[in-house]
Amino acid sequence: YPNPFNPSTNIHFDLPKSSVVNLEVYDLMGKRVATLVNERMGAGSHMVTFNASGLASGIYLYRIQAGNFIQTRKLTLIK
C-alpha cells in the first residue's frame, strides 16, 4: 500500500517459517527493474519499501518467492 503510488509503496508479507526470500519488481515487458530482497528472512511479518522515483509511470509487477510459495501482484505508479 498505497496502490496506486508515487513515488514509493510498501510491500507487506508474512513468513510462517524462516525462508530464503526473493522479491523482484518487473515492468510489463518482463524486464526486472528492481531486486528488493534476496536473502534468508526469519518467520513473521515483514515490510519492504519500493522506491520507484527513477521509473516511468505505469504498471509494474512484483514477484515474491519464499520456499515453495510464489506470488505475483500488480503495482501502479502514477507520477
pLDDT tens digits, 5-36: 999 999 999 999 999 999 999 999 999 999 99
Rg (CA), the chain: 12
Whether the CB-CB separation of 9 and 2 falls below 8 Å is answered with yes
Q: Which residue has the cell 510489463?
A: 28
Structural domain includes residue 63: yes
Structural domain includes residue 27: yes
pTM of the predicted protein model: 0.92
Structural domain includes residue 1: no
pLDDT of residue 69 exceeding 80, the answer is yes
Q: Residue 29 maps to which CATH number?
A: 2.60.40.3080
Structural domain includes residue 26: yes
Structural domain includes residue 2: no
Structural domain includes residue 3: no
Q: What's the number of domains the chain is made of?
A: 1
Whether the CB-CB separation of 13 and 63 falls below 8 Å is answered with no
Note down the domain range covering 54.
8-77
What's the sign of the alpha-carbon dihedral 4, 51, 38, 17? negative
